[in-house]
Amino acid sequence: MCEEPMVSMGGTGAMRLGNFARRHPMGCFFRREFESTTYHKTLQFGGRILPTDKLGPVVCPPRNGKMEVSDDCWPSPAPEDVVELRDATRTLMVETEQATGCPVVVTADATLTMTAGVLMATSNRPGHIIRIHPKAPPVVDYYVAYYCGMIQRFFESPPEERFFFGVGDKGRYQFRKLLERMPSLKRLGEAAISAMCEQLLTGIMTHLRSVPLGLRLDNWIFSKHSELVEMQRTAIQPQLQENNRSTDEKFRSVCPPPVFDATMSINAAFAQFWAEKWNQPELALPYKASGYAAAGEKLLQIFRDVPDSGRTDRALIDAWGAELNLTNGYVWVAYQGPQHE
């Protein structure tokens, strides 16, 4: 689960990708450029007016601790749409606001192609927006805690050390060459190959960014927020099951070997992490059988060796990228924070 930061250099617009690209372990949806939002509605948040875009009903935790629609342009929520947040979760939201100087809003968004995501505050977006799909597993507290942790980690770095992760033209060129050498794709036209290149490149790069960072966040939740552990398991289990489908021969036949190997290695690390946490060694068996257990363990060792801090998250991603030979596929782009910073 993650959403921002993820940008692409040399492309425009937003894109929805195929199963491989969008359903990786952290369930990420990616945009090819910084969002330039035109706001259409306003949300009353704790006495402040926070502009929001067309994201569906926007909810926030007022003093009674319930998430409720607070824009009078929408009808009042039905009882089943009002979610009781735990005190600890509301505390995390307050801490995130204090740490970043920006309000945190939670919204239901049926347009998401993932279970949940976050849009961090930027120079043209004055608050952090945590988005949750209405059909996501009923673990709202876990999602809110996860993204509050992500936001706080990102803001641990001083402004000059905050960067968005992006896809560059160099990576796009290299992936295009890999696809052109695939015998199974020689009959495809130019447009189809370009689209597949974009899907594979954005998918694996988002995978590279989201998994090590996501494991940091989940490790923190597992260790520090025991009240969320069962919700965490509910959210993680479908991701493990989805990853197992990446061994499908149909996917392998259209995926360049370096991309397939990197995907399987990251999936192996993800599975082995949870096999250890939950004492369920069987979770790692598919990757032992396919020969990717050693590669996954190398990534986990890097994960253990890099100090756990928001200021080292970029170094962790770079280290995984170097191990997987993916460093030419992405770029770091300076983050443009809210104007009050």
**Where are the alpha helices (H) located in the chain, listed in sequence order?**
19-22, 87-100, 140-156, 169-180, 190-224, 229-244, 249-253, 257-277, 285-289, 293-305, 313-323
Using a 10 angstrom Cβ sphere, with 0-12 exposed, 13-18 middle and 19 or more buried, the burial of residue 201 is buried
Average pLDDT, the chain: 77
Please say if the pLDDT value at position 273 is more than 80.
yes
What span, in angstroms and rounded, lies between the C-alpha atoms of 318 and 312? Answer: 10
pLDDT of residue 27: 29
* Average pLDDT for 304-312: 97
146-188 pLDDT tens trace: 999 999 999 999 999 999 999 888 888 888 888 888 877 777 7
Who's near 316: CB < 8 A, 6+ residues apart?
Answer: 212, 213, 216, 302, 303, 306
More confident residue, 237 or 36: 237
Region of poorest pLDDT, from 88-92, 122-126, 273-277: 122-126
Who's near 183: CB < 8 A, 6+ residues apart?
Answer: none
Please say if the pLDDT value at position 61 is more than 50.
no
More confident residue, 29 or 232: 232
pLDDT of residue 340: 55
More confident residue, 224 or 30: 224
Share of the chain above pLDDT 70, in %: 74
* Average pLDDT for 101-114: 90
pLDDT of residue 225: 96
pLDDT of residue 1: 58
Strand partners, 331: 166
pLDDT of residue 341: 52
Are the CB atoms for 89 and 121 separated by under 8 Å? no
From start to end of 72-127, where are the E strands? 83-84, 104-108, 116-119
**Which has the closest alpha carbon to 263: 284, 288, 244, 235?**
244
Are the CB atoms for 29 and 114 separated by under 8 Å? yes
199-246 pLDDT tens trace: 889 889 989 999 999 999 999 999 999 999 999 999 999 999 999 887
What span, in angstroms and rounded, lies between the C-alpha atoms of 75 and 289? Answer: 53
pLDDT of residue 254: 74
Share of the chain above pLDDT 90, in %: 51
Other Cβ atoms less than 10 A from the Cβ of 77: the count is 17
What span, in angstroms and rounded, lies between the C-alpha atoms of 242 and 281? Answer: 18
Q: What is the DSSP string of 256-295?
A: -HHHHHHHHHHHHHHHHHHHHHTT-GGGGHHHHHTT-HHH
